[in-house]
Structure 1
Amino acid sequence: MMALLLIVLLLSVAAGIITQTLNGYTYFELPVYLWYFIVPALTSFGFLVMLAMCVHTLVNNKYFGYFAFILVVVLNLFLWSGIDVESNLVQLNGSPGLRYSDMSRFGPFVKAWVFFKTYWWAFGAILMFVAFLFLVRGRESGMRWRLHAAGARLRRNVVLASALLVCWVALGAWGYYNTKVLNTYKSGDEIEELLVRYEKELKRYEGIPQPHYTDLEYAIEIDPYQRRLNYEVTATTRNVDQVPIDSVHLNLPSTVDLEIELPGAELVYSDEDLNYRIYRLAVPLMPGAELNFMVKGNYIAKGFENSVSFRQLVNNGTFFNNMDLIPSIGYSSNGELSDRNDRRKHGLPAKEPMAPLSDEPADRMHTYLMHHSDWVNVRTTISTAEDQIAVAPGSLKKEWTAEGRRYFQYELDHPSMNFYSFLSARYEVARETWTPPGGGQAIDVEVYYHKPHAVNVPRMLNSTKQALTYYTEHFGPYRHKQVRILEFPRYFSFAQAFPGTMPYSESIGFITDLTAEEDIDMVFYVVAHEMGHQYWAHQVIGADMQGATLLSESMAQYSALMVM
């Protein structure tokens, strides 16, 4: 059976290679075929083969055996979600799956995948042993006879049975320790209940005056090969309202462990499940006054998880944003349950996707990207492995190496939205400059890319420069001294605009085949679209109400089409 499956898989590989050749592609990555196609298929179908043999042996009828096997598979597909069980230790043949990227290969997915496949093959060995115990030989097929024969066979093979059972139980205990003790996860129903609690218990704080971020200084240490992250952030906030503020409400990021140091404040409310804290200030923050606090945080990958979290931190191609590190201020409606039917089920009122249009100044105090934060100044000192380049928002002020690590200092040239990213990878860098047609300061145009993915880099550079030419002529000056496009692994598939930087997934641009002349140049278009966001969202941005995305997405779409 397994040999037949292997033959089918090898024929599929051959068909794939032939198709690649006919389309002019000759870089055949045979190890990828092996580890991303053949081995996963063999392990998954191999377990199903063992399950099928056990079911057929126990049923001892070909057609009822087919039915029983299909029933088990279907129940396994649909039963667990119905009873809110998401553990891969319970779902037959469960695993978090493999994801492959040219940049970071299988990254953080390998450890958990190997464990769970080993765990289920150990269970498969038990299934095969059960099939051996109840195997029918000769004409006797009654259940009483089969039970008697199974008992006799078990007594003769008690050592093997014990070894198989101990091995599987030990693996299960190790898996439980890693997925429920070292790491934790929440099921879909548990997450839904937390969203309901968040709204029911904290909604009363929505709209109360809160300080706004104005300045942030980061010190970040990335260890990409151990998947570790340490950081400190010094944050400055200001009371932009006309009334004193007596308490600060913080929504904490859920991925990292962090501490908040807020001098002269008392922690009066803390819910670790909702990641919400309230600090009462000893002295109310008067209008126009500033409040400083410090955030210290870390993330350390421990063991393996039921499903890989914080996929942003990987061995090559780390990409996370500031809200993965710092708390957002004030109650956020983004933390509410959004599905209409789910809200009705929990007795919550209907909710519009965005607030209705309003002329009230209080309703226009916040952008749709982030409440309680306007244009901010950002300074960053970031370090990474010696063979990688770390990138943060703004101009590079300083670079050095110490104790086997590379350090970089960046600073924003212009106050920007409090929405930006940090990246680290073994980058190659393509650099050009763009000078405004009417004269003025040249802009550095840079593409940070994985070395084998250079084919579309010239298109990206060209698109960026053409976009700058059109946008500066029709919309106004570009606010930064550089434009950076940075590649990140295909574990995510999108491009995104941050101040002066545009992370771009390898899967939607860097490896796009544009050899057919009649095809639309999507690489050029997406770069122009994201460049449009440097104006629409990062200069002109709507309040958090209906129509806000018209000023960002629709205008960026229009801008890109004008550049095409």
Structure 2
Amino acid sequence: MTKRDVLVALQALVPNRYVGLLAGAALAVSMRRGASIGLEHPMLRFADGPVLPASAFGPSAHAVASFVGLMAFWAIVAGALAVAAPALAPRGPYEPLRQRVRQRVRQWPARLGVGGRRRALAVAGAAVVAGGWTLFQTTIAADFETAEAQLAWRADYERAYARLDGAPEPRPVALAATVDLRPEAQEADVAGTLRVVNRAAVPIDTVWVTVRRDLDLGALTLDGVAPARSDARFGMHAFARALAPGDTAALAFRVGVRSRGWSADGGDRSVVGDGTYLTSMRVVPEVGYLSSYEVEDARERRRLGLPPKSEAPPEPAPVATVMTLDLTVSTAPGQTPVAPGDLRQSWTEDGRPHARFVTEAPVTPVFGIASARYERHAVEHEGVTVEVYAHPDHGANVPRMLHAATTSLDVLGAAWGPYPHPTLRIAEVPAGWRFAAFAFPGLIAFTEDRGFLTDPSDADRLDLISRRVAHEVAHQWWGHTARPTGGPGDVFLVETMAKYGEQKVIRALHGEGQVARLVAYDRDRYAWGRAEAAGPEPPLAAVVDQPHLYYGKGAVVMNGLHGLLGEGTLDQALASLMRTDRRISPDDWREAIRAAAPPEARALVDDWTRRVVLYELAVERATVVPRADGRFDVSVALHAARTEGGRSLPLHEVLEVGLYDADPTGGSAPLAVHAVRVRTGSTVAQIVSDVRPAFVAVDPFVRRVDVDPSDQVAPSGRERRRSTPCA
């Protein structure tokens, strides 16, 4: 039965056509936006079910079961409406619905007869059973919670355990774990030992451990002793184990990942029939209080009676938390397990592939595991084994990925120091995850639809594949070597610096013109996000969770610093931050850049990262006059301004002016680029050119943050009125 038939049934049941139309509109809204208006349970939204992403790996069996179960339930509901609507439709003069129901109920026994009544009772019984089973699967088996219940849980967690935030806690230093994947059942069992050490200067009298509440907890001990007390609601476990400074302890655990019930979003997709992607954040217990569980939204905190969150982040540990990994992974026959570290051993036992991965040096304490029917592609490059694990039908882009990865190792290694691992792996994971790629130490998880299936044949498009590979490889330095302290500005040090690494690799592969197009896209991303953002914009070095800032604006700023300081000077300053003995902060970054910058450039470093400074750049007029020697005098009238919060700032900088033989907005490369010193207001630049330009552009390589670049290009020989800048 179609949605149209349901709407017809509503019209039959509702006596007034306009009320029926409103009921149909309400049904349509509930189907599309039901969760946002409080209809969160899948049985309250007609024909709602999980979206099954198109994937060569095949859909999640749990998502398919949820889809089939929910669609069967709604088919029964629709069938009941199809039967009831004609019987209850008004005939002749107006009859209230209640009167029609009473009348039809009296008439049906005689009309149906004994056999018909039995069949009707059987159908009604089947409908009740189906509804009850669906209710059980979607509510009890799936542990359904409304958004309000989840907020209440977070608030209660904070009230109960926020006192532990900032208290001394042991740090993990080594993990040895066995991960048994059972993709055919969408289950996994993880058993391991996490060795922790008290690095604090004071004793620790109680060790708190958090286990995710959606895991099956089989065992949890600290040095062989069970928790003194456990709070199952929050997954908090307290061990009465005193640790003096420098003492170590072994946290042994056994947990299970299970798929339960039906859900409208398809449920957990970590372990699937083909294309498993399981992360440490999903299965490894964490030591201490988790501030990530807290309610973040200030309005919700006020409503729930929680105090405002402190603006000052907790004092970070001076030494970054790192640990060694020793992972043994087993999976289904025909599949290949992939994880970070050296592949020490691989074997088959009871028909199941096994592999052991070990990291010699400590790494950031996050990792991912992938498993699928992969085809392995590999190259040896300067002592590093670069591997791509791809679906057998997705090999078209693998050579480009390998080339981008090896180029990234060369370019970024020369800039910031040697790549820290003997192996770099890229593993394809199914479409549907909320990222294009994610970098773990030595391993990059890359979604099929945003890399392996990307069409690179269009020469006018950006090289998205190489760009994404370069960005994730850059995280092996920014995030996994240079590790931030925690707090505002962390994503600037991790994501913005990876954007700069992305630019370096694209520059090496395709030249400055491709970088300019890439940064122009990032500039527009910043402008779009800025227009939609609520509240005041923070400086780039204090950004927390605004992708349009740390991706978009950050890319423009780093390209500007590249032009301001020069690539060698900038890279030397950034390389000084690659320290494994301590964490780095935005202040450390600032000191390193300012120390390398010439005195006249230091103010701009602060303006671009510690203030919110915007530019307004325009070409007002460009004229060309032939010279007797065959060259051309090019006169360019420029307008330039800087603002902060609507307030004008003085401007005295060297900008670039590009000369073109075709409109640069179409992607043409400049014939020549000249440096011009400009001041606030109007500046007329006199340039001698070997060729006659048809167009002139200011800031052709996008090194300044101008959210309205529409006036930056003008044809030569014509004066144009500058548009009014946006406020």
- 1:261 alignment partner in structure 2: 221
Specify whether residues 473 and 81 from structure 1 end up closer, same or farther in structure 2 by C-alpha distance, changes over 3 A only.
closer
Q: Is contact 1:47–1:121 with CA below 8 Å preserved after alignment?
A: no
Match of 2:147 in 1: 188
Are 1:486 and 2:427 an aligned pair? yes
Q: Give the deviation of 1:140 after TM superposition.
A: 4.8
Q: How does 1:268-287 map to 2 (within 5 A)?
A: 268-281=228-241, 284-287=242-245
Structure 1 residues 303-312 or 291-300, which shifts more? 303-312
Aligned 1:524-539 pairs, distance under 5 A: 524-539=466-481
Q: Conserved in 2, the CA contact under 8 Å of 1:99 and 1:109?
A: no
- Kindly indicate whether the alpha-carbon contact (under 8 Å) linking 1:266 and 1:280 is maintained by their aligned counterparts in 2: no
Checking the alignment, whether the CA contact within 8 Å between 1:134 and 1:150 is kept in structure 2 is: no
Q: Distance in 2 between matches of 1:366 and 1:89?
A: 50
- Structure 1 CA distance, aligned partners of 2:428 and 2:283? 21
Aligned AA (1:452)? D
Contact 2:30 2:46 in 1 (8 A): no
C-alpha distance in structure 2 between counterparts of 1:113 and 1:366, whole Å: 48
AA partner of residue 92 (structure 1)? F
Task: Determine helix, strand or coil for the equivalent of 1:515.
Answer: coil
Per the alignment, do residues 186 and 559 of structure 1 end up closer, same or farther by CA in structure 2, a change over 3 Å counting? same
| Equivalent residue runs for 1:17-416 within 5 Å | 46-74=1-29, 82=37, 84-136=38-90, 139-143=92-96, 144=99, 147-149=102-104, 151-153=106-108, 155-157=110-112, 158-258=117-217, 259-263=219-223, 265=225, 267-281=227-241, 284-302=242-260, 304-305=262-263, 307-351=265-309, 355-356=312-313, 362-365=315-318, 374-416=321-363
| Structure 1, 99-108 or 462-471: larger mean CA deviation | 99-108
Over the aligned positions, Cα root-mean-square deviation in angstroms equals 2.2
CA-to-aligned-CA distance 1:10-47 (integer Å, 9 cap, x gap): xxxxxxxxxxxxxxxxxxxxxxxxxxxxxxxxxxxx34
Aligned residues: 498
SS in 2 for 1:452: coil
CA distance in 2, matches of 1:387, 1:75: 43
The one-letter code matched in structure 2 to 1:162 is L
Q: Aligned equivalents of 1:105 and 1:223: distance in 2?
A: 16
The verdict on how the C-alpha distance between 1:545 and 1:63 changes in structure 2, with shifts beyond 3 A counting, is: closer
Instruction: Return the alpha-carbon distance in structure 2 between the equivalents of residues 183 and 79 of structure 1.
Output: 19
Contact kept, 8 Å, 1:393 with 1:420, in 2: the verdict is: yes
CA distance in 1, matches of 2:260, 2:417: 48
- 1:410 and 1:75 map into 2 onto residues whose CA distance is 48
Other-structure match for 1:424: 371
2:498 matches 1:518: no
What is the identity, as a one-letter code, of the residue corresponding to 2:491? T
Q: Secondary structure at the match of 2:64?
A: helix
Which position in structure 1 is the counterpart of 2:414? 473
CA distance 1:366–1:160, change in 2 (3 Å): farther
Aligned mates of 1:64, 1:484 — CA distance in 2: 60
* Uncovered stretches (5+) of structure 2, i.e. residues with no partner: 507-727
Offset of 1:74 from its aligned partner?
3.9
Question: Could you tell me whether the CA contact under 8 Å between 2:427 and 2:444 is conserved in 1?
Answer: yes
Distance 1:513 1:421 in 2: 27
Tell me how far apart the structure 1 counterparts of residues 451 and 319 of structure 2 sit (CA, whole Å): 33
Whole-angstrom CA distance in 2 between matches of 1:309 and 1:67: 33
In structure 2, C-alpha distance between the alignment counterparts of 1:466 and 1:546, rounded to whole Å: 32
The normalised TM-score by structure 1 is: 0.83
Letter of the structure 2 residue corresponding to residue 229 of structure 1: A
Residues 163 and 52 (structure 1), Cα distance of their counterparts in 2 relative to 1, 3 Å cut: farther
- Give, in whole Å, the separation in 1 of the partners of 2:274 and 2:12: 48
Q: What is the TM-score of this pair, normalised by structure 2? A: 0.65
